[in-house]
A and B are shown apart, each in its own frame.
Chain A
Amino acid sequence: MATSKRTRADDEYEHYEAVVVGCGPGGAAAAARFADHGVETLVLERGPEAGSKNVSGGLIYAEESAPYTIDDLFENFREEASERPVTDYEIHNISGNKVKTYDLTDLHEHDTEWCDAVLRRPMDSWLEQRVHEKTSETGGGVLTDVRVDGLLRENGEIVGVTCDELDPITADIVVAADGVNSELARDAGLMDWEDPDEWFQGVKATVEMDAETIADRFGIDDDEGVAHLFSGDLFDDVRGGGFLYTNEDSLSIGTVFHLDSLVAEQAEPHELLDSLLTHPLLAQWFRDEYHEREYAAKLVPDSKKVAHREPYRDRLVLVGDAAGQMQAQGPIIKGMNHAVSAGALAADAYVVSRGNADPESVGRRYTKMLERSGTMEKLRPRRYDLARTVGEHDAVANAVDRVLESPIGSVAIGNPLSKRAMKLAYNSPFLVSMLPDTATGYVTLPSIIGEEHGRTIHWDNEIEPPSLEERIGELTYDTDVGNPHIHLRDDSAEASGAAVYACPVSAEDFGGGCYRSETVRANGSEETLVSLDTQPCVECGTCAVVADTDWEHPRGGKGVEFREG
């Protein structure tokens, strides 16, 4: 028989006890916990399959101190959904062709129960199956191809969600796990896209390499994997770094930069990625063979600045990227693990508060649980707030840089004692959490370390990464023809020109990207305008921050579809 749903008194909309928006790790964890508690749970995912919209570096951590880890919630996660464990962790400080490598295993292993490389399409689609099985048992399930486009309000209070593909749905609790560009968090006024300095942007290439070759080139067994980080002058003065992780039969190689720095330096993200890919250091692993499976990009919130301290409003709670819960612990980025903790805690908070007439009792409880579990302190360390006021002050930063770059500074860092001290400093979770977000940590220090301590690399790296046009050509899109999801509000170069280079699928003098500059002659004067074609969009959200746009996700199932993630 058909299910006859319980509806509201006014008999207008379908009602579910819990609605979870997004089936990434945060949404999956929330839904799994709801189902464990017997809560009727509907999960709405806008991709054609969970993971098709997701990108991460990506390493997923299970922290010893975390309230929940993903394998607590999903049995056999590591066997069935992740790639290789990280058994070797190194950072390479680069100055030209000179490289000094430090072993970062101590930092990596601090508070780490395990850590695996993951690819998000296989991982999240696996989670989707498990979540659907679990939530089906309590009267709900997972629906894909459904985009939640806003909050349903009754007398000004949030009571549910509205969707492109479905009639509005009411719920006792709405969990927004809809990612870094969460439309729900913005609808609720809890997050914005204002300041580039609150964001990182990452781009990544998934590179083909069979298991045998990985074993040979990295000197590891089938059950081992490596993580390499890269920093120094190979990215010019853009603040950020690169990474390389080994998957079962591919490599994840990418770069992550502060968005404000990308804008200030007018850097092209795909060219910075190419700087890493073509650096001589990487030749030892490629040996002139390079086949890129997928090019992808993602905006990353800097939790130190944006993790919401009270991520709720009415019946709505935010988890994961939607709440800015992405921790950059020095060079190590932890996001998925915190999303898992937050999702599970949100579900627990609901169950504990069930029956309380005040709709915000769940949010308050969730906030408390984030604090008591230590999750919030990791995301927004109090000592960072203290250090930041001094460290990021331009005058201080410049002075420090000048000293470091002077002969005395270089010698100081270059002496044998500081060699040990530097490695220790890199491996101190306390120190790295205090590193200010200036070029000092990202460029100056690593370059000097590389210059003073490094060995010169004599390999030639002769690989040719694909052009941006080829990269876009390899991506899969289901374009919503005639219904673009981004509208340019101001097409002047001042307001939106930054998107032409900061957008990972646009470039100056490239006509096939999202954003292009055009010179328009009118009435004898010349003007540079920005135009937009959303077809190649990878839905990262960069332009929402650096340009003046009306930004929405495409309709359910439409837009880019990542195969690797």
Chain B
Amino acid sequence: MRSVVLTKGVPDFSEGAVSFDEDGHLERGKTPTVMNPNDEVALGAALQTKVRHGGHVTGVSMGPPGYASVLEEAMESVYADDSYLLSDRELAASDTWATAITLCSGLEKYQEEIADIDLVFAGFKTADGETGQTGPQTAWALEWPIVTHVLALDIDPDERVLRAKRLVEGDIDEIETVEAPLPCVVIADPEFSPTYRTASHRLTHKRLRTETQARAADHEDHLTTWNHEDLNLDPDYIGLDGSPTIVSSVDPIPKAPSERDATMIEPGDEDGMGQVLEELGAYAGGD
């Protein structure tokens, strides 16, 4: 079983890490890049596949050279065997369409030069763009089937078919079971959680972790970078020039006006504190 996990670096939106300017715009330069949180779920699904069926997992990302650290993080958490970074100035400012075209070219080159891929895993959506389009568009470009909102995954390597439980949200949430032939693109739902109910799976998991720690320590030795020429991509169809969608403006959502008046009183202000007690006295219950 050979799997590829698509992953992306996003600004670290966690408190303390993220930085906004006075107008409420994200300051990318001051905010560290981390792996997109939803991608961890995709990595978990790929890891479960590797533990249960063995094989090889490759992490793939498109982005600036700094994204190598994201792939290194991915290697550690999915116990990936190697990493590919599609990186080139010509790829800058790609929208989801241009990104999918680029990723598809990378995957096709991988299939031609390295090995056939059985499964491509991607996260539900990124924490910065929030479109949820890149995975499905990549499947479209590859002309592969896609199964989205996957909660649980079962693969039959002999029949070359996967069975998945997917969450269908609506008035009533439903879980449907679908089958798809391999190769296939799988989008893991944030609710996906890998299960290892047998001792042998857990022992395999433990062995892979040990092996990967050694590998991730020399991540550069396992990282391949491809530029647009390696991918044989026409600059007119990638990056900003190849992106049909343009984000014309970003408006911060204004803070909701406060519904109540607030009076600030310093703890040392005795008159003020007296006033507070007086005000609260009306609400004090009991005896």
Q: Which residues of A are interface residues toward B (Cβ below 8 A)?
A: 1-3, 5, 14, 16, 42, 44, 136, 140-141, 143, 146, 165-167, 169
Of B25-33, B49-57, B144-152, which binds chain A? B49-57
Cross-chain contact B200 with A1 (CB below 8 angstroms): no
B202 at the binding interface (Cβ < 8 Å): yes
The smallest beta-carbon distance between A80 and chain B, in angstroms, is 19
A141 / chain B contacts, CB cutoff of 8 Å: 203, 206-207
Apart from A3-B203, A5-B200, A136-B203, list 8 A-B contacts with CB within 8 A: A2-B52, A5-B198, A143-B199, A143-B202, A143-B203, A165-B197, A166-B197, A167-B198
Residue of B at shortest CB range from A140? B203
Cross-chain contact B200 with A14 (CB below 8 angstroms): yes
B232 at the binding interface (Cβ < 8 Å): no
Cross-chain contact B204 with A169 (CB below 8 angstroms): no
Cross-chain contact B199 with A2 (CB below 8 angstroms): no
Closest A-B pairs by Cβ, 7 of them: A2-B54, A1-B54, A141-B203, A5-B200, A167-B197, A3-B200, A143-B202
A169 / chain B contacts, CB cutoff of 8 Å: 199
Cross-chain contact A2 with B53 (CB below 8 angstroms): yes
The smallest beta-carbon distance between A142 and chain B, in angstroms, is 8
Instruction: Give the contact-size bracket for chain B.
Output: 10 to 19
| 11 residue pairs bridging A and B, Cβ less than 8 Å apart | A1-B54, A2-B204, A3-B203, A14-B198, A14-B200, A16-B199, A42-B199, A136-B207, A166-B199, A167-B198, A169-B199
B54 / chain A contacts, CB cutoff of 8 Å: 1-2
A1 / chain B contacts, CB cutoff of 8 Å: 54
User: How far apart are the CA atoms of A44 and B206 in the complex, in Å?
Assistant: 13
Number of A-B contacts (CB under 8 A): 38
User: How far apart are the CA atoms of A516 and B178 in the complex, in Å?
Assistant: 53
Cross-chain contact A166 with B198 (CB below 8 angstroms): yes
Q: Which residues of B are interface residues toward A (Cβ below 8 A)?
A: 51-54, 197-200, 202-204, 206-207
Tell which of B51, B53, B206 touches A143, judged by Cβ atoms closer than 8 Å: B206
Cross-chain contact B202 with A166 (CB below 8 angstroms): yes
The smallest beta-carbon distance between A22 and chain B, in angstroms, is 15
Given A140-B203, A141-B206, A143-B203: A2 in contact with B51 (beta carbons within 8 A): yes
User: How far apart are the CA atoms of A16 and B203 in the complex, in Å?
Assistant: 13
User: How far apart are the CA atoms of A146 and B198 in the complex, in Å?
Assistant: 11
User: How far apart are the CA atoms of A2 and B204 in the complex, in Å?
Assistant: 8
User: How far apart are the CA atoms of A166 and B203 in the complex, in Å?
Assistant: 12
B199 / chain A contacts, CB cutoff of 8 Å: 14, 16, 42, 44, 143, 166, 169
Cross-chain contact B204 with A3 (CB below 8 angstroms): yes
B52 / chain A contacts, CB cutoff of 8 Å: 2
| Best-surrounded residue of B53, B199, B200 (most CB of chain A within 10 A) | B199
B200 / chain A contacts, CB cutoff of 8 Å: 2-3, 5, 14
User: How far apart are the CA atoms of A169 and B203 in the complex, in Å?
Assistant: 14
User: How far apart are the CA atoms of A494 and B173 in the complex, in Å?
Assistant: 51
The smallest beta-carbon distance between A565 and chain B, in angstroms, is 23
| Best-surrounded residue of B53, B54, B203, B206 (most CB of chain A within 10 A) | B203
B53 / chain A contacts, CB cutoff of 8 Å: 2
A165 / chain B contacts, CB cutoff of 8 Å: 197
User: How far apart are the CA atoms of A2 and B197 in the complex, in Å?
Assistant: 15
B51 / chain A contacts, CB cutoff of 8 Å: 2
User: How far apart are the CA atoms of A219 and B6 in the complex, in Å?
Assistant: 63
User: How far apart are the CA atoms of A140 and B198 in the complex, in Å?
Assistant: 12
Residue of A at shortest CB range from B53? A2
A167 / chain B contacts, CB cutoff of 8 Å: 197-198
User: How far apart are the CA atoms of A555 and B206 in the complex, in Å?
Assistant: 20
User: How far apart are the CA atoms of A16 and B202 in the complex, in Å?
Assistant: 14
User: How far apart are the CA atoms of A500 and B165 in the complex, in Å?
Assistant: 49
The smallest beta-carbon distance between B284 and chain A, in angstroms, is 26
Residue of A at shortest CB range from B51? A2
The smallest beta-carbon distance between B154 and chain A, in angstroms, is 14
Residue of B at shortest CB range from A4? B200
Residue of B at shortest CB range from A3? B200
Residue of A at shortest CB range from B205? A143
User: How far apart are the CA atoms of A3 and B201 in the complex, in Å?
Assistant: 8
B204 / chain A contacts, CB cutoff of 8 Å: 2-3
The smallest beta-carbon distance between B245 and chain A, in angstroms, is 42
User: How far apart are the CA atoms of A165 and B201 in the complex, in Å?
Assistant: 12
Residue of B at shortest CB range from A132? B206
The smallest beta-carbon distance between A41 and chain B, in angstroms, is 11
User: How far apart are the CA atoms of A169 and B207 in the complex, in Å?
Assistant: 20
The smallest beta-carbon distance between B5 and chain A, in angstroms, is 18
| Best-surrounded residue of B197, B202, B204, B206 (most CB of chain A within 10 A) | B202
User: How far apart are the CA atoms of A143 and B196 in the complex, in Å?
Assistant: 12
A146 / chain B contacts, CB cutoff of 8 Å: 202
User: How far apart are the CA atoms of A563 and B207 in the complex, in Å?
Assistant: 25
User: How far apart are the CA atoms of A154 and B203 in the complex, in Å?
Assistant: 26
B207 / chain A contacts, CB cutoff of 8 Å: 136, 141
User: How far apart are the CA atoms of A143 and B199 in the complex, in Å?
Assistant: 8
The smallest beta-carbon distance between A171 and chain B, in angstroms, is 10
A143 / chain B contacts, CB cutoff of 8 Å: 199, 202-203, 206
The smallest beta-carbon distance between A564 and chain B, in angstroms, is 25
A44 / chain B contacts, CB cutoff of 8 Å: 199
A166 / chain B contacts, CB cutoff of 8 Å: 197-199, 202
Residue of A at shortest CB range from B49? A2
The smallest beta-carbon distance between B96 and chain A, in angstroms, is 35
B198 / chain A contacts, CB cutoff of 8 Å: 5, 14, 166-167
